[in-house]
Structure 1
Amino acid sequence: MTITHSNLEDISEIFRLYKLATDFQNLKFPENQWPEFDQKLIKTEVLENRQFKLIIDSKIACIWALTFSDIQIWEARENHASIYIHRIATNPEFRGNNFVQTIVDWAKNYALKHNKQFIRMDTCGNNQKLISHYTNSGFEFLGMKKLKNTSDLPSHYHKADVCYFEIKL
Structure 2
Amino acid sequence: MINKANLSDIPQIMNIINKTVEEMKSYNNTQWDENYPQDKDFAKDIELGDLYVDKEDNTIIGFICVNYIEPVEYDNLNWSKYEKCMIIHRMAVNPEYRNKGIGSKLINFAEELAIKNGVNYLKTDTYSINTKMNSLFRKFNYKFVGEMSFLGKEQPFYCYEKTL
Per the TM superposition, whether the score is higher than 0.5 is yes
Give the match for residue 157 of structure 2: 162
Decide whether the 8 Å contact of 1:4 with 1:53 is kept in 2: yes
Alpha-carbon separation, structure 1, partners of 2:124 and 2:137: 9
**1:1-169 paired onto structure 2 within 5 Å:** 2-28=1-27, 30-35=28-33, 36=35, 37-77=37-77, 79-128=82-131, 130-143=133-146, 145-147=147-149, 150=150, 155=151, 157-169=152-164
Identity %: 19
Q: 1:102 to 1:31 in 2, by over 3 A?
A: closer
Alpha-carbon shift at residue 41 of structure 1 (Å): 2.3
Matches of 1:20 and 1:117, distance apart in 2: 33
SS of equivalent residue, structure 1 residue 33:
coil
CA change 1:18–1:3 in 2 (3 A) is same
RMSD, aligned CA: 2.1
Is the contact made by 1:26 and 1:32 (CA closer than 8 Å) also made in structure 2? yes
CA contact (8 A) 2:126 2:159 kept: yes
Residue type of the alignment partner of 1:165 = Y
Greater CA deviation, 157-166 or 106-115? 157-166
Q: Quick one: distance in 2 between partners of 1:109 and 1:60?
A: 20
* Residue segments in structure 1 that go unaligned for 5+ positions in a row: none
User: How many Å separate the matches in 1 of 2:67 and 2:111?
Assistant: 14
Indicate conservation of the 8 Å contact 1:131/1:141, yes or no. Answer: no
Contact 1:100 1:134 in 2 (8 A): no
- Alpha-carbon distance between aligned partners in 2 of 1:93 and 1:69, rounded to the nearest angstrom: 30
Write the distance in 2 (CA, Å) between the matches of 1:128 and 1:90: 14
User: Residue type of the partner of 1:89?
Assistant: A
User: CA contact under 8 A between 1:51 and 1:63: conserved in structure 2?
Assistant: yes
Structure 2 letter corresponding to 1:160: Q
1:57 CA displacement:
2.7
Deviation at 1:52, TM superposition (A): 0.8
